[in-house]
Structure 1
């Protein structure tokens, strides 16, 4: 497989950037050679994240000071809005570099939809058209050939893995989908926010961005591709007082199918997938079963309401919901084993 790939991480002082460091530090085919964090420039990663005390890592620098020509790939963990112009600058400096973007800036294919949901015109339209949506299980071949991969958000990953095979098989009514989603507080980022303070988030459960969350159009885009029609979903996220983890409970109307048909379709879709596991009938997915890992659990339960079913999916929002999926895509882009660096067992308890 040749020498190790030289990797850079933009926004290494955030939670997704840090988890990319955690996973890549033990990746057999990767060498971390550049870490950026403009607000922490000059510091070591061990200063910003003390759990990296044993690693020999490059110091954090401003992104403008990195020699991008010497890197094989870059992971971008910057906030949406700032990512577009920085990624464009990196690709101008090194057109051959592989970009794994973990922000939302390149996920939406329609420029008008992006402007509607993010409040401004896209600032790198030439790259938006090039980007491949990075949900590995559905776009594997395109990802392998891509230069820029837009890795999905954690909510869309959990929801789409549960629903896309069902929509594609026309087993559910795509005009009647309700997604009740819950995520740990790391999903809100590492910045200081009142609603994520321990005394405010602890011992409570809070809905947020009700009816207006920016992951909704991403979910609709991909279910629409599977269904071959425009789709609108009812999506409500909640903040739950734990650091990691995500669970989506999707309520669906059946198209002449049974809950067992849904489970069979999911089992068939993921029979050869290394990270997506459909649980047996009567077993319920739980966040603690996938914490710290790149694995996903999906289960199907019959609703007590006739002709309806409940599909439950769970993942770690920082791993399969972000950095882990990005590494899975990187492996594909370099022709490496897809599971390389990602076979950690979940942390339990």
Structure 2
């Protein structure tokens, strides 16, 4: 059985970001590292969006960025200037190529394409089982999401951010490449929280995505019917579908970190790295991967890798509300964006506001809903 210092089970966003930070730090070049994944990461399987101020580490692989975005609901629309933030988009394949190219230059890193079937820990080592072979290591970074423990508990609600996106190309100019549609709640809600994204990369090409925050997924044809109807409402009839993507991201405040051990750390969706209230993953993974590598350079006990804060509790209250009243999402987000400065909301969603700034945002939300959720949570 081949032995390594570190094994990554799964090579998604969180794993590759963490590995990238390890390489950049220069502190792990003498360590044997193994990546395990059944996917070779050679296709564009997803798109990530995030916001940040000024130039960023990922700017060279951006597909597009926007300073202005639309927020819409059935009663109104607001074109928002995000300054000093910009809303940025990265295609999965461009991210994979960037990181895998860097990894290929490291003689201490190996990649094996296989399916991880399990792992076990004993005597200070971890053994990872795959459909190809077994491997052992001192430390395991696991990003293979197991929903079983989340489903078996009742203390923390579980929703899904699930979506289908089409990259469409039109015959005539149909989009404004300078303005993205951040959330459009004008689509029929049907008892859920449902909205559209429109992410234009030119005046004839855009990603149009139908997204829900709810417990249950839809049949494929329902997502696609909603996108078709939305394009029709935009008076876009002549287009071709260049690419399709589909995904489902767990939204929960479940305490994933309780499953960490001295030698095993759960990352990505498996570690609760997804922003529970919005499903945004890229920025959170960027922050947490840096924190994890810094932590690893200082100590070796993964069971101590966790930092809880008040934003975790804010997310929990929102998910409590949406779990009981899933149709309230449009009202909550509309209230938040109606009057507040967009930059303040984005800063809040990133968990970077002061307590005073928190209160400015929270004050705009439907107070009765959150007070009742708070009372229920306290006396749960």
Give yes or no for TM over 0.5.
no
Q: Per residue, is there more strand in 1 or in 2? A: 2
- Normalised by the size of structure 2, how large is the TM-score? 0.28
Instruction: State which structure, 1 or 2, has the greater radius of gyration over its C-alpha atoms.
Output: 2
